[in-house]
């Protein structure tokens, strides 16, 4: 049979059997964020498209190729959120959060849309947990955000992750470095891939990020940003490192680490799982001291990260991390004979109103089939209402694990379930 409708390419349904992972990741996220004093923020799924073109960068892949842009019926150009940071900065400005005590620490959990080429761990709709701390330039805040991300992975039970750290400088030192990098590449353009030839003109820093085999020797010999940092950027980076060391967050300096957005300044970081792969980053972020200003706000230094929930769940499965089992209904209400149908429906309702989760048998299954169904759902008790129980005002309660069964007055049922 060919299905007429399927989920759009690159999107997925999150089925009930996977929800335990989602609950686990979301609950852990909200606990860790609270522990670090971050408050939750939710922004709309779509925004004015120029919010992203202006901040993420006209020349970036996200803006050039991946954004879902559309006009609404009023003719406004909107975009489905392709990343989480710019909307948070927009909200920070819109709600005057600059006048709150700084830094303002926020976290979000949101669907993200990118017209990517779908593959394992790469989708057109994915979800990110993100944290942003706005209004403070201290290196301790960079370290705090990185520690938050690291503790989150630790708390989830993931192991063998590597945290890469780099600085891409600021308005003082980066332009000079980019010139040096360009000079270096100019003589080698014939040896690099066509994408890199385009990057050379559009976004030279991204040259360092190319995954093509043929570009690796050129990247390996390229001048390092770390050697071109100005004094303040160098100090900032070494302070971030000192804070991380003080709390035993292990990091590896990676001078070729750059990120996909134009708004980053100074600190950038990524966390990778053990398997190598071009698209393997579990999460990443950095400092973006100029972003709020790009949106027309006052100078507002800030730092944050985003991490992909789908990729985290892939890792949890790969590393066989046990997650808490989803809650199951406690009681299955079974019934026998047409007269029991309505009383069974009422019993289910009464139990639920007392806070007991109930699955009610439907249709005309035999009692045996109802038992099998309860068993398949892993339910503890079956409450049976049949002709005899109706006549006596009783209920038969069967414990599925051992088949122990007793008939009780209806009024005693609740007590029995709550204190077995
Ligand atoms: P980025 O916003 O590109 O820095 O991405 C942050 C994190 O989101 C990445 O490290 C991934 O875990 C995840 N991510 C990014 N793009 C995708 C995608 N297309 N599909 C699934 N996860 C993604």
Tell how far the Cα of 126 is from the centroid of ligand 1, in angstroms. 8
Q: Is the pLDDT of residue 98 over 70?
A: yes
pLDDT digits (tens, 9 = 90+) for 126-177: 999 999 999 999 999 999 999 999 999 999 999 999 999 999 999 999 999 9
351 contacts: CB under 8 Å, gap ≥ 6: 331, 333, 358, 383, 413, 414, 417
Distance 307 CA to ligand 1 centre (A): 6
All CATH 3.30.930.10 domain ranges in the chain, comma separated? 16-173+229-318
What is the DSSP secondary structure assignment for residue 412, as one 8-state letter?
G
Is residue 420 pLDDT above 70, yes or no?
Answer: no
pLDDT at 278 over 60: no
Give the Å distances, CA to CA, from 205 to 60, 65, 265. Answer: 11, 18, 12
The string of pLDDT tens digits covering residues 16-36 is 999 999 999 999 999 999 999
pLDDT digits (tens, 9 = 90+) for 170-204: 999 999 999 999 999 999 999 999 989 988 988 88
Measure the CA–CA gap between 381 and 226, rounded to whole angstroms.
65
Whether the predicted pLDDT of 279 surpasses 70: no
Distance 258 CA to ligand 1 centre (A): 14
The gap from C-alpha 115 to its chain's centroid, in whole angstroms, comes to 18
pLDDT of 55: 87
| pLDDT score of 414 | 86
* Residue 16: burial class (beta carbons within 10 Å; 0-12, 13-18, 19+): exposed
Q: What is the pLDDT of residue 135?
A: 98
Give yes or no for residue 282 having a pLDDT over 80. yes
Residue ranges of the chain assigned to CATH 3.40.50.800: 331-418
Question: pTM here?
Answer: 0.93
Does 278 or 192 have the greater pLDDT score?
Answer: 192
Give the pairing type, strands 46-48 and 69-71: unpaired
The CATH number assigned to the domain with range 331-418 reads 3.40.50.800
Pocket test for ligand 1, best of 128, 273, 282 (most atoms within 8 A of CB): 128
The whole-number pLDDT of residue 56 equals 83
Q: Is the pLDDT of residue 218 over 80?
A: yes
Cα 98 to ligand 1 centroid, rounded to whole Å: 28
| Architecture of the domain made up of 16-173+229-318 | 2-Layer Sandwich (3.30)
Ligand 1 proximity of 311 Cβ (cutoff 6 Å)? yes
pLDDT of 1 reads: 67
pLDDT (tens digit per residue) in 35-46: 999 999 999 999
As a whole number, the mean pLDDT across the chain is: 94
What ligand 1 atom has the least distance to the C-alpha of 123? Answer: 20
The residue behind tokens 């353009």 is 189
Q: What is the pLDDT of residue 277?
A: 62
pLDDT at 58: 77
Cα 154 to ligand 1 centroid, rounded to whole Å: 19
The answer on pLDDT for 72 being more than 70 is yes
How far apart are the C-alpha atoms of 110 and 91, rounded to whole Å?
15
Residue 111 CB less than 6 A away from ligand 1: no
| Alpha helices, H only, 157-207 | 174-186, 194-202
Give the pLDDT band (50/70/90) at residue 280. confident
Evaluate the CA torsion angle 98, 100, 103, 104 in order and state its sign: negative
Encode pLDDT of 368-411 as tens digits: 999 999 999 999 999 999 999 999 999 999 999 999 999 999 88
* Rg from Cα positions in the chain: 28
**Does the structure show a pLDDT above 90 at 60?**
no
Residue 216, pLDDT above cutoff 70: yes
DSSP 112: E
What's the rounded mean pLDDT across residues 198-215? 89
DSSP H or E run through 394: strand 394-399
Q: Which of 126, 153, 259, 269 to mutate to test the pocket of ligand 1 (most atoms within 8 A of CB)?
A: 126
Cα(63)–Cα(113) distance, rounded to whole angstroms? 12
Query: Element (H or E) spanning 21, and its range?
Result: helix 19-35
* Separate counts of helices (H) and strands (E) for the chain: 15, 16
The least confident of 275-289, 308-322, 344-358 is 275-289
């Amino acid at each position: 049979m060919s299905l007429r409708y399927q989920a759009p390419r690159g999107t997925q349904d999150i089925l009930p059997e996977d929800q335990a992972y989602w609950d686990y990741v979301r609950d852990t996220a909200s606990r860790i964020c609270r522990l670090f004093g971050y408050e939750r923020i939710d922004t709309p799924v779509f925004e004015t498209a120029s919010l992203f073109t202006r901040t993420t960068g006209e020349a970036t892949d996200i803006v050039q190729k991946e954004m879902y842009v559309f006009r609404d019926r009023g003719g406004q150009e909107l975009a489905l959120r392709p990343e989480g940071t710019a909307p948070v900065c927009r909200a920070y400005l819109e709600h005057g959060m600059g006048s709150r005590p700084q830094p303002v620490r926020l976290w979000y959990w949101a669907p993200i849309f990118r017209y990517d080429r779908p593959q394992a761990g790469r989708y057109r709709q994915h979800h990110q947990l993100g944290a942003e701390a706005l209004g403070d330039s201290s290196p301790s805040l960079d370290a705090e955000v990185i520690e938050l991300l690291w503790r989150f992975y630790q708390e989830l039970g993931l192991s063998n992750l590597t945290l890469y750290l780099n600085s891409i400088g600021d308005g003082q030192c980066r332009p000079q470095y980019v010139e040096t990098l360009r000079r270096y590449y100019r003589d080698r353009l014939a040896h690099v891939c066509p994408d890199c030839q385009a990057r050379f003109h559009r976004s030279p820093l991204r040259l360092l990020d190319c995954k093509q085999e043929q570009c690796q020797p050129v990247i390996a010999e390229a001048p390092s940003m770390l050697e071109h940092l100005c004094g303040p950027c160098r100090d900032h980076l070494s302070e971030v490192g000192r804070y991380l060391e003080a709390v035993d967050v292990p990091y590896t300096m990676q001078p070729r680490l750059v990120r996909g957005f134009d708004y980053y300044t100074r600190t950038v970081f990524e966390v990778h799982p053990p398997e190598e792969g071009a698209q393997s980053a579990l999460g990443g972020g950095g400092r973006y001291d100029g972003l709020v200003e790009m949106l027309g706000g006052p100078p507002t230094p800030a730092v944050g990260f985003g991490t992909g929930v789908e990729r985290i769940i892939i890792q949890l499965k790969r590393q066989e991390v046990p997650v808490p089992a989803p809650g199951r209904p406690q009681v299955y209400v079974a019934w026998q004979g047409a007269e029991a149908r309505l009383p069974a429906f009422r019993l289910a309702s009464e139990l639920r109103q007392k806070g007991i989760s109930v699955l009610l048998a439907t249709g005309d299954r035999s009692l045996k089939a109802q038992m099998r169904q309860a068993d398949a759902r892993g339910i503890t008790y079956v409450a049976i209402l049949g002709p005899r129980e109706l006549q006596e005002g009783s209920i038969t309660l069967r414990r599925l694990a051992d088949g122990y069964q007793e008939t009780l007055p209806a009024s005693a049922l609740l007590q029995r379930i709550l204190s077995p």
